[in-house]
Amino acid sequence: MDLRRRTFLKAAGLAAAGSLLPGCEREMHRLVPYVLPDDEIVPGVADWYASTCRECSAGCGTIIRVREGRAKKIEGNPDHPLNRGKLCARGQASLQGLYNPDRLRRPFQREGRRGEGTFVPIEWEEGLRRCAQALQDSPVPPLMVTRPLSGTLARLLSDFMDSVGGTLYFYAPDAELPLHAAWRESMGSDVVPFYDLAEADYLLSFGAPFLEHWLSPVAMGIAFGRMRQGRSTVRGRYIHIEPRMSLTAANADQWLPIRPGTEGVLALGIGRIILDTHRPMSAGKALDRFHKFYGSVRLSEVESATGLSRDVIDRLARDFASARAPLAIGGGTSCAQTNGTVSLIAINGLNALIESLGRESVARGFRRDHPGRSIPWLTERTVFELVSEQEKAGSQPVLMLYGCNPVFTMPPSIPIKPLFERASFIVSFSSFLDESTEWADLLLPDRDALESWGDHVVETDTQAIGLSQPAVMPLYDTRQIGDTILDVGRRLNLGHAHAGTFHDLLRERWKTFLAGKPHEEAPDWFERAWIDHLQLGGWWPESNRSARPPSFVPSRGFETARFSGEEREFPFVLHPYPSMAVGHGEGANRPWLQELPDTLTTVVWGSWVEVNPATAKELGIGQGDLVRVISPVGSLTAPVVLFPGIRPDVVAMPLGQGHSSYGRYAKHRGVNPVGLLAPALDTVTGTLAAGATRVRIESTGKKGRLVTLEQPAMEQSDLITVERRHGA
């Protein structure tokens, strides 16, 4: 396009004239001068409030910069024992949740058919009355599904559901339930240990994305930095085993592209070699358990199953056994198979085997005693069971949703929509109109985390509880879910219902908690302690190292992975992985995160299919070509990214995009790979085996829209060029 000066001025004149025509003016926004600030606000002076990040379940400590009553910046709390002043991109972008233009600003009720997403505003009194009436009229116990919680809110919701005879479920697509189940099956306790990476000198990771979205990536990143260059002793060595080179794998000394689903087989082979070449100090039944579990595998089978040579397997076993402080961890891809739990049992056992050689494991247990420990999880198997039970009984329960979006994150092959369709009444406490909230009959929006009170039990090597406090006044006519539940409880005349607000309940719980700790003997001791802990950001002792995990006692044998789809028809294994920026989709409505380039492909604002260049050559496709990915249960189209860091028999796609709702920044961007996933489940936990689906790829003969940062801007062919002329 040739854009000359005269053409530009002509276009500008037409635009100015058009602005005078009726119907062409922009919507006017009212500007309110900040002449009389609140008494607590000093113009030009910023305040910092300590709080807790709730963008994921880790619960990093934060400090929030507030000026003139507006939150301006979020940083990590340097005093917090988990993240020690650091904060990830999702934590930084949480400001865009607070000020998101698509937040629900008041209560709504459904108008029209369920699932259409049409609502009309109502007052809070009407919304609370309808919620209480639905619970009172329901002939069957209600269900409540929330994101993982701990602390006072978890106790409140659990007590409330017990009082109404219902069931509370936790749900998260990245719950890592096989990790907890593996420790329960092998160690007799589902308390996942604290992996002390900083003390390890040899790290063997079986797919655990600890630098991206596994457990607490910020804390893991800090510890990994110390392991690699933060100590005066020998630099720690790191080996990563995964079919695709993730960001975590890219930081390893060596990446081993193993066949999907064989991580546990490799762990068995390593354990077998260690037992054959070393003499464990354990004797009797303890030694028999190791030999029975690891001795059953043939090393020739390990070599053929994993695709790794015998020399590589021998070296892994030798280096792991000879290290001073080795550590084996498993997660991510090794959890995403039908044999995920049993694979993790084999991986966890390597740490116990090292202890039998007379060395201390750096997998230390930590305390996780909090109200959320006893709450069951909503797994894909649970959904099948609930739907089956409702079909048999003809029951139609009230369904309540908070902080999760299962309609988007569960594949269509799981009957989550029938569960919603059968509900007699659905209440959502979401702050946004997402795919699950669109099915609700009543919307009672929660306040943003930066407007709310709360506490969170932190999972680290020391006992710690983070506190959350409002950094800003509520922007809209919303209510914290704790206050909403307390109000509904009083309307139902529940005996335990607290008479005050959730803030009052939180203070009472903390007063009871702190009364059991050393404190000053003074009438105002709690007020002073409360303020001190709010300023600190929570409570944690100076030193409280936890106990070591119990002995290795595997309760089940090994299983091989199973895949959905015949290899002849579907030659590739699909490897879906959570986006480091938008996760499983919860961050897709934050434009900062949408604009954050993928660390390895540099793609922004969309979806893509990663294909090995050798595979792409065989298929006759290239960079940016639009292809159709087909599985036994679904299909979708996306552009190709040639990615050498992936096995030729594997294709990968990022999760988190493809929203049909969830606001202007998330809607209609990319595709959602969960639509390809077959209903394959982990055999122990019943969670979705996201890596157990085979696919095939077909070219559409078209080019896709692929926005990347990997090439110079001047190489783009569709740029508008402006001709520079003398005198112009």
Give the CATH number of the domain where residue 268 resides.
Answer: 3.40.228.10
For 603, residues 6+ apart whose C-beta sits below 8 A from its C-beta are 597, 641, 706, 707, 708
pLDDT over threshold 90, residue 188: no
* pLDDT one-digit tens code per residue, 625-670: 999 999 999 999 999 999 999 999 999 999 999 999 999 999 999 9
Q: Is 326 left (phi over 0), alpha (psi -120 to 50) or beta?
A: beta
Q: What's the pLDDT at 522?
A: 80
For the cut 70, the answer to whether the pLDDT of residue 36 exceeds it is no
Nearest CA among 260, 59, 267, 256 for reference residue 182: 267
The answer on pLDDT for 93 being more than 90 is yes
186/239 same-domain check: yes
In a domain, 155, yes or no: yes
In the predicted structure, residue 451 carries a pLDDT above the cut 70 = yes
pLDDT at 273 over 90: yes
Task: pLDDT band for 440, please (50, 70, 90 cuts).
Answer: very high
What is the CATH number for 430?
3.40.50.740
319-357: pLDDT as tens digits: 999 998 999 999 999 999 999 999 999 998 998 888 766
Provide the 10 A C-beta neighbour count for residue 543.
6
- Give tens-digit pLDDT for 669-712: 999 999 999 999 999 999 999 999 999 999 999 999 888 887 64
Take residue 13 and report the two structure tokens written for it: 């004149």
**Mean of pLDDT values over 242-266:** 97
Residue 66 lies in a domain: no
Q: What is the mean pLDDT of residues 718-726?
A: 42
pLDDT at 20: 43
Domain of residue 501: give its range: 108-170+371-516+525-539
Q: Does 558 fall in a domain?
A: no
Structural domain contains residue 10:
no
Q: Are residues 201 and 282 in the same domain?
A: yes
Q: How many CA atoms lie within 13 A of 311 on its CB side?
A: 0
> Given its phi and psi angles, is residue 180 left (phi above 0), alpha (psi -120 to 50 degrees) or beta?
alpha
- Residues of the chain with pLDDT > 90, as a percent, come to 66
Residue 492 has pLDDT above 50, yes or no: yes
Say whether both 139 and 245 belong to one domain: no
Q: What is the band of 195 on the pLDDT scale with cuts at 50, 70, 90?
A: confident
pLDDT at 184: 84
Q: Beta strand 61-67 with 70-76: parallel, antiparallel or unpaired?
A: antiparallel
Same domain, 273 and 134: no
447 with 308, same domain: the answer is no
Amino acid at 247: L
Whether 308 and 406 share a structural domain = no
- Lowest mean pLDDT of 36-50, 302-316, 678-692, 701-715, name the range: 701-715
Specify whether 342 is located in the same domain as 430: no
**Is residue 640 a part of any domain in this protein?**
yes
Short-list 655, 539, 665, CA closest to 93: 665
Report the range out of 244-253, 377-386, 412-421 with the highest average pLDDT. Answer: 244-253
Cα–Cα distance between 175 and 385 in angstroms, integer? Answer: 19
- Of 306, 330, 363, which marks where a domain is finished? 363
**Whole-angstrom distance, CA of residue 713 vs CA of residue 331:** 38
Residue 5: the pLDDT is 53
**Confidence band for 725, pLDDT divided at 50, 70 and 90:** very low
| End-to-end alpha carbon distance in the chain | 17
CA nearest to 172, candidates 221, 210, 142, 213: 213
Residues 381 and 509 in one domain: yes
Q: What is the CATH number of the domain that holds 633?
A: 2.40.40.20
Element (H, E) at 667: none
Q: Residue 233, by phi and psi: left (phi above 0), alpha (psi -120 to 50) or beta?
A: beta
> Do 375 and 348 have their domain in common?
no
545 has pLDDT over 60: no
- pLDDT of residue 26 exceeding 60, the answer is no
Last residue of one domain, picked from the residues 363, 390, 411: 363
Q: What is the pLDDT of residues 463-475, one digit of tens each?
A: 789 999 999 999 9
Per residue in 31-63, is it b (16+ CB within 10 Å) or e — as a string? Answer: eeeeeeeeeeeeeeeeeebbbbbbbbbbbbbbb
Asked if residue 624 and residue 476 are part of one domain, the reply reads no
Q: What is the pLDDT of residues 585-620, one digit of tens each?
A: 999 999 999 999 999 999 999 999 999 999 999 999
Task: Return d(Cα 456, Cα 55) in angstroms, integer.
Answer: 12
Q: Which of 305, 340, 363 is the last residue of a domain?
A: 363
Q: Looking at the structure, do residues 472 and 618 belong to the same domain, yes or no? A: no
The count of domains in the chain is 3
Q: Answer whether residue 93 is part of any domain.
A: no
Tell me which of 461 and 281 has the higher pLDDT: 461
Is 36 a member of any domain?
A: no
Give me the mean pLDDT over the 136-156 stretch. Answer: 93
Flag whether pLDDT at 715 surpasses 50: no
What CA–CA distance (Å, rounded) separates 618 from 458? 49
Q: Name residue, tokens 């507006």.
A: 70
Residue 719 has pLDDT above 60, yes or no: no
Residue 317 φ then ψ, to 5°: -65, -45
> What is the model's pLDDT at position 621?
97
In this predicted model, which residue has the larger pLDDT, 4 or 677?
A: 677
For the question of whether the overall pTM of this predicted structure is more than 0.85, the answer is: yes
Residue 60: per-residue pLDDT: 96
Kindly state whether residues 236 and 263 are assigned to the same domain. Answer: yes
Any bridge partners for residue 377, and if so which? 170
pLDDT band at 231 (very low <50, low <70, confident <90, very high): confident
Q: 233-242, 415-424, 573-582, 706-715: which has the minimum mean pLDDT? A: 706-715
Average pLDDT, the chain: 87
Does residue 421 belong to any structural domain of this protein?
Answer: yes
The two beta strands, 694-703 and 625-630, are antiparallel
Between these two residues, 641 and 8, which has the higher pLDDT value? 641
pLDDT tens digits along 109-134: 999 899 888 999 999 999 999 999 99
Q: Residues 499-524, buried b or exposed e (16+ Cβ, 10 A)?
A: eebbbebbbebbeeebeeeeeeeeee
